[in-house]
Amino acid sequence: MSTFDPTIPPWLAAGSCVGFTILFVGSLYIFPVETAKSKLARQVREHARYTAAAAAAAGTDQPLVNIHHSTTPPASPRPSFSSALSTQSNATTTSTSNTLIITTTKSPSTADNRAHRSSTHLHFIDTAASTANSRTSSSPATSSTSTFSASSASSSSSVSVSTLPSSSSSVTTTAITTTGSKHVVSAKPEVEIHPHSYSQHDQESARFHSPVENQKLDRNHPLVIKQRLKGVALTCIVVPFYLWWLFEFSGAISTEQSFWQRLGRFLALLGISIPNNIFKLVNHVVLPLLLVGCLFMGPTLMMFLSNELPFQQAFDWATQRQHIQGLMGMRNLVVGPISEEVIFRACMVAIVANSGARLPLMIFVLPLVFGIAHINHAYESYVKKGRTRQALKGAVGMAAFQLLYTTLFGWFATFLFLRTSNLIGPYLCHAFCNMMGFPDVTNIQYFGRWKKWLYMTFVLGMVLFGLLLRPLTHPAWYGDEESSGYWILTMGAPAPQES
């Protein structure tokens, strides 16, 4: 089979494909996910964490934290939080009293400044006492107080929450007092913790965290989706510009032609072109979907029996429309398929074809890179589940499964791209597969007498897919020698014309 002229060194083509993959995966984490809303939520979580640590330290007579730095709240009209941790102690011989006080002050908005300020002060006071009595003072008699107390033979504790009603300013005070036996307590210096920054331990260890570990939100969170869409969009701009420069520098695109001729050739190699007649445009849309629909004959029959197809009883148009128009629909059906097909199909096939590679190499090797690029999902799952042994087993199984089915789809999508010389078919098939999901055969057992028909439909779909793969992807259905960028790879060199 004839190939393209090897204008690009094979090592450069292979290195570029690896670089495209690293750039694509890295772009998912290049933009920080934390915004004003998630930052505020993180501050609240940090206060809760320090409160729990203080309570644990009070119960075990252990210091809360060991931090030697302090910061001041930023002067901003936005809500700001500051917490001060102070520790005082006196010598004692029999017992001690540990008090944890959380004071929150909040001033309402004014006519000139609608944004309000709030500050939270966390005081941990370790004082010596000879009795187990604890007392919490609060503001005026207008406050409401709730108290919880528990005692034992060796220690007693009480929790008092005092809250003032809303007025020109309000104060909320929470005191936790624990009394237990203790010998001598050494004095501890006062320190201040500002929640806008991490603790000293977090700051020191953050340098060793991967972008996945610093990613605190799930991949389906709207903030994460927005930032990742920005990253992959940037990748889809940078990589084609690099290819344009490389093709002109290496001679893959003749510099003797005009700019528009070179641009047309470049876009044809990337599969970005419009068919020259409406008949072939319809073929680009219908035939690939008909082909991939054969693989989903079984799931489609299951949806029909469950009344889940459009115009059936269990199909909810409002829910489906909301999903498609939402961020997850935008990612799964539009941006995700387009970006992955541009990078892993169009750009990689274009550069490898111009290195002199043959058709089997592009169809069966390049999709492995596409499969490997999805392993980051398994690593995310491993980190989110706490890096336990069970999480590792789940991540390994998830990685193997994703590598298998993404590679299989990559074989089909690469073959379809080379045969059609266009991204329309691969994109539509990719979006359709994302919408349907991986076929689940485990639910067949719930269909009673229809089980054997469902199994037969699954097998029949795969058989039809294999039989129709080459006929429905014949290049003549989609273009001709002049409009197809990869005609020479799929159809061979044109026969010499007789004089």
pLDDT surpassing 70 at residue 96: no
Strand-pair partners of 105 = 119, 171
Regarding beta strands 95-107 and 83-85, do their DSSP bridges make them parallel or antiparallel, or are they unpaired?
unpaired
pLDDT at 344: 95
Tell me the C-alpha distance between 335 and 329, whole Å. Answer: 9
The pTM score is 0.66
pLDDT for residue 250 is more than 80 = yes
Known catalytic residues?
Answer: 340, 374
Compare 313 and 76 and report the one with higher pLDDT.
313
d(CA 302, CA 244): 47
pLDDT band at 3 (very low <50, low <70, confident <90, very high): low
429 neighbors 414 (Cβ within 8 angstroms): no
More confident residue, 75 or 30: 30
What does the pLDDT look like over 154-166, one tens digit per residue? 343 343 443 344 4
Residue 237 pLDDT > 90: yes
pLDDT of residue 434: 93
> Distance between CA atoms of 425 and 289, rounded to whole angstroms?
8
Summarised one tens digit per residue, pLDDT across range 116-151 is: 333 333 333 333 334 344 444 444 444 343 433 333
- More confident call, 341 vs 174: 341
* 325 band by pLDDT with thresholds 50, 70 and 90: confident
First to last CA, the chain: 25
pLDDT computed for residue 378 by the predictor? 87
Closest Cα to residue 17, out of 344, 303, 311, 440? Answer: 344
pLDDT band at 60 (very low <50, low <70, confident <90, very high): low
- What are the phi and psi torsion angles at 125 (to 5°)? -110, 125
Contacts by 227-232, CB closer than 8 A, 24 or more apart: 227/31, 227/32, 227/33, 228/27, 228/28, 228/31, 228/331, 229/330, 229/331, 229/335, 230/31, 231/26, 231/27, 231/28, 231/29, 231/30, 231/31, 232/24, 232/27, 232/28, 232/335, 232/336, 232/339
Average pLDDT of the chain is 74
Judge contact between 374 and 406, C-beta under 8 A. yes
Q: Determine the average pLDDT of the residues in 195-199.
A: 42
Q: How far is Cα 378 from Cα 299, in angstroms, rounded to an integer?
A: 25
Question: Is residue 83 within a helix (H) or strand (E), and if so which, with residue range?
Answer: strand 83-85
What's the whole-number mean pLDDT along residues 7-24?
Answer: 94
Q: Is 204's pLDDT higher than 50?
A: no
